[in-house]
Amino acid sequence: MGAPVARRGIAALSLLACLTSGSGFSAAAPDAPQVTYCIPLKSLSLSPYEELGEPVRLFYLLLLTRSYISTDPTEPGLLSNWQFSPDGLRLTARVAPNAKWRDGTPITGRDAAYSLAKAIRFKPIGQKVWVKGTESMIKPDWESRTYSGIKLTGTDGFELTFESKVSNTAGVIREALATNARHNRLWAARLHHKDAGGKTEIATKFPYSWSGQNILVDADGTTVSITADRDCNNSDIKIYSVPEAEDKLFSRSETHGQQALVGVVNPKGQLAERSVRLQLAQWLRGAFHQQEQKGFQVLSSHFARLETGHTDAIEWGTSLTAPTLSSLLITKGTNYPTNSPIQQTLEHALKASKIRGSIVPFVEGTPAKDFEIRIAGTRIEGDRQIWMQDWGNDDFFKDLFSHFPKTLVALNEVVKRSSSTLPTDQATLAALDSAAFDEASIIPLARYRLNVYSRLSIPIYLSFTDRDELTIKRRQ
């Protein structure tokens, strides 16, 4: 993996100056250099009032959205003072004095509180924690209503009262408000206001505007045009792609926020027998084992040695011997585009083993009969399965795991702790690993890192902060 051109210690561009100066966001000069940052999607959206959908949306939301709270002095949050009640069911807070909208108008306590209360209902945690009395926020006039769980204190303060099904309500809400939130990330939107294109204005870390369907970001004199395209080959900045000769690679750390690739097996049809599922598991794992030069790491099971959940009693194997299958239909998320190492590894394995196979994007509502294995991602951080916790609320996964009763019981235990932001203990994770192996249900394929490619010819590059946020830095 290559090292950045600029010194690692150089600070991220100070794009928050527009916020702290009180002058609002400023636009880049008309003749400013422009670079493209492509996201493999059909379209972009900044609205906090919709489900995340494809995880690839995080590739621009983590770069743009300004979180409510932050421990990073170079990237202050929207709230300057906040605290939870001892039982975690009340949050009192004030908006930071320097938090402003693009035209310099201060962000109010009402903006922050109403945005938070509505947005949380569109996140996975919204099924477990929500602001009391906000059921009518789905109505068209929701911005003008009052709610029993929202109390405004002056122009910049508020108090929220939560209803909760989890044991650690404050931890769940705090994580969603913080800089390093992922699926549950919350950000503020301006009430009673639409921009010239009819889009909701949001609080961001960077000056931005819309140009048609693209988002233009003012990166200290360089305009970054964020665009959606299923084929990102010609982009100046991209993620999940094979590097071109002139590109320089910047990647996240080996140990923090690791990504884990798994295969969830459809136990119907030709994979009804466990022995066949194990053949498939070894073959898929062997395919990724042969591609270690692309950054994949294949473990003996779901967990690495010395990692919580690891046990020496389980060994999935990595033999590339082709399974006794004449055909195989694989589905995967659209965040693994056709030019990604993941897609290419699967295609190479099918061809080398002479298996008639197809790899198709997963579409919501896809019936289980339409594939044999689904390639999915989980995220391991601090002994918690960050993305796996959402499977417990997904009807698609519930249907699949109903055929794997031991896996379902073990997964529910992981979900119960992880969704409460509590570290998952050795016994709970080891039970999941054992159940997945006994039933050959969730196949551990590989660990990998998210890779960002930025052309050497452009004045800036995209990188990761220590907290796994995306940030723009200037080359030196």
CATH number at 325 reads 3.10.105.10
Handedness of CA 8, 10, 13, 14 (dihedral sign): positive
Report how many domains make up the chain.
2
Q: Are 283 and 406 in a shared domain?
A: yes
Query: Last residue of some domain: 198, 220, 250?
Result: 198
Q: Are 70 and 191 in a shared domain?
A: yes
324 belongs to a structural domain? yes
386 belongs to a structural domain? yes
Q: Are 194 and 262 in a shared domain?
A: no
Q: How far apart are CA 445 and CA 300, in angstroms?
A: 10
Give 3-state DSSP helix, strand, coil % of the chain, rounded to 5.
Answer: 25, 25, 45
229 belongs to a structural domain? no
Q: What is the pLDDT of residues 310-363, one digit of tens each?
A: 888 999 988 888 888 888 999 887 667 666 788 889 998 998 888 888 888 776
Q: Are 271 and 384 in a shared domain?
A: yes
Q: Are 281 and 409 in a shared domain?
A: yes
Please name which of 254, 251, 253, 257 lies closest in space to residue 384, comparing C-alpha atoms: 257
Complete DSSP assignment for 254-283: SSTTEEEEEEEE--SGGG-SHHHHHHHHHH
59 belongs to a structural domain? no
416 belongs to a structural domain? yes
Q: Are 159 and 275 in a shared domain?
A: no
Q: Are 175 and 271 in a shared domain?
A: no
Q: Are 194 and 285 in a shared domain?
A: no
Q: Are 401 and 270 in a shared domain?
A: yes
120 belongs to a structural domain? yes
Q: What is the pLDDT along the chain (476 residues), one digit of tens a residue?
A: 333 333 333 334 443 433 433 333 345 556 668 999 999 888 999 999 998 877 788 889 988 999 999 877 777 899 988 999 999 999 999 999 999 999 999 999 999 999 999 999 988 788 889 999 999 999 999 999 999 999 999 999 999 999 998 888 998 899 889 876 777 889 999 999 887 778 899 999 889 999 999 999 998 789 999 999 877 878 899 887 666 656 776 665 555 456 889 999 998 888 999 999 999 999 999 999 988 877 788 999 988 888 888 888 999 988 888 888 888 999 887 667 666 788 889 998 998 888 888 888 776 666 556 788 989 887 766 556 555 666 766 777 788 888 999 999 988 888 777 777 777 788 888 999 999 999 999 999 998 877 788 888 888 888 887 766 788 888 87
**Cα-based angle 344, 347, 353 (whole degrees, multiple of 5):** 135
173 belongs to a structural domain? yes
Tell me the residue range of the domain where 103 lies. Answer: 66-198
C-alpha separations of 460 from 6, 253, 474 in Å: 9, 20, 4
Q: Give 164-167's long-range contacts (Cβ < 8 A, gap of 24+).
A: 164/88, 164/89, 164/128, 164/129, 165/127, 165/128, 165/129, 166/128, 166/129, 166/419, 166/420, 167/420, 167/422
CATH number at 118 reads 3.90.76.10
Q: Are 291 and 409 in a shared domain?
A: yes
Q: How far apart are CA 265 and CA 390, in angstroms?
A: 17
Q: How far apart are CA 289 and CA 345, in angstroms?
A: 10
Q: Are 386 and 299 in a shared domain?
A: yes
Q: Report the first-to-last Cα separation within the chain, whole angstroms.
A: 19
243 belongs to a structural domain? no
Q: What is the pLDDT of residues 23-52, one digit of tens each?
A: 333 455 566 689 999 998 889 999 999 988
Torsions phi, psi for 359 (to 5 deg): -125, 115
Reported as half-sphere exposure (CB side, CA atoms, 13 A), residue 463 has a value of 23
With beta carbons less than 8 A apart as the criterion, state whether 263 and 76 touch.
no
Q: Are 271 and 356 in a shared domain?
A: yes
Q: How far apart are CA 230 and CA 82, in angstroms?
A: 41
